[in-house]
Amino acid sequence: MKEAIVVKCGGSVLARLSDTFFSSLQKLKAEHDLVVVHGGGPEIDEMLTKLNIPVEKKNGLRVTTKDVLEVVEMILCGMVNKNLVARFEKNGASAVGLSGCDGKLLEAAALNEELGYVGDVKTVNVKLLQSLLSQELVPVVSPVGMDTSGQLYNINGDTAAGAIASSLGAKQLLFVTDVPGVLHNGELIREADEELLSSLIEEGVITGGMIPKVKAALASLQGEVEQVIIVDGLKGFIDENGAIIGTTVTKGVKAG
């Protein structure tokens, strides 16, 4: 087996992923086993609004009632997952779309009562992923998990990607979003560390959806993951020398 890389594609960019982005992924796939996890927050918001169901979030996490959970399931496991599988096929990679409920891929438990059916990942079925990877297939995972009683949970995509990367023993985790990485005064920060990122959150430079992403990045570096890179899905993210362009956080490496 090749070394695994987990790639999380954010909902902010899913509908706008460029062909050059997929070319960059194909370059990675030549040398690594790719596991893709997707979000779909904006797509869920849109459907909830159409259905007149209130959109409520606490610290970046969606308050998930029974009605909201049904919409999350429909959008993440259905539309978003299948559209992404189709984009992979169109770009020359065979992909298998599955949710965390399939084959106990993501065994989940409630995170806290306040958020309703929001889950945290307890275990990852690594063998299932490995069996797909051994057939040169790209697993495309929607972050909906299940507990042992069959109750479904809505899991934040960044959290699910971090848990999968840690369980698989992936050295690298990529967060694909709609900006080139962490920006400060419009400039891309190429190398960052925990101290820098924490102070940028405190100063209000890092806000909104970038906060859970940065936190998930730092949390995954506590485990086996050695490098997290935040990259742009609107463009290619590999330069002419084969280096990944974005904001890189490397375990044990001080920025600057």
Ligand X SMILES: CC(=O)N[C@@H](CCC(=O)OP(=O)(O)O)C(=O)O
Ligand Y SMILES: Nc1ncnc2c1ncn2[C@@H]1O[C@H](COP(=O)(O)OP(=O)(O)O)[C@@H](O)[C@H]1O
The reply to whether 8 belongs to the active site is yes
Given 102, 158, 193, 232, the catalytic residue: 158
The reply to whether 213 belongs to the active site is yes
Nearer to ligand Y, 110 or 183 (CB): 183
> Is 154 marked within a binding site?
yes
> Is 62 marked within a binding site?
yes
Binders in 82-141 for ligand X, by CB under 6 A:
118
Return the range that interacts with ligand X (CB under 6 A); candidates 91-99, 150-158, 216-224, 231-239.
150-158
- 3-state secondary structure labels for all residues of the chain: CCEEEEEEECHHHHCCCCHHHHHHHHHHHHHEEEEEEECCHHHHHHHHHHCCCCCCEECCEECECHHHHHHHHHHHHHHHHHHHHHHHHHCCCCEEEEECCHHHCEEEEECCHHHECEEEEEEECHHHHHHHHCCCCEEEEECEEECCCCCEEECCHHHHHHHHHHHHCCCEEEEEECCCCCEECCEECCEECHHHHHHHHHCCCCCCCHHHHHHHHHHHHHCCCCEEEEEECCCCCECCCCCECCEEEECCCCCC
Given 39, 116, 213, 232, the catalytic residue: 213
Binding site for ligand Y (CB under 6 A): 10-13, 39, 41, 177-179, 182-183, 205-210, 213
Nearer to ligand Y, 208 or 252 (CB): 208
Active site residues: 8, 11, 41, 158, 213
Annotated binding site for substrate: 40-41, 62, 154
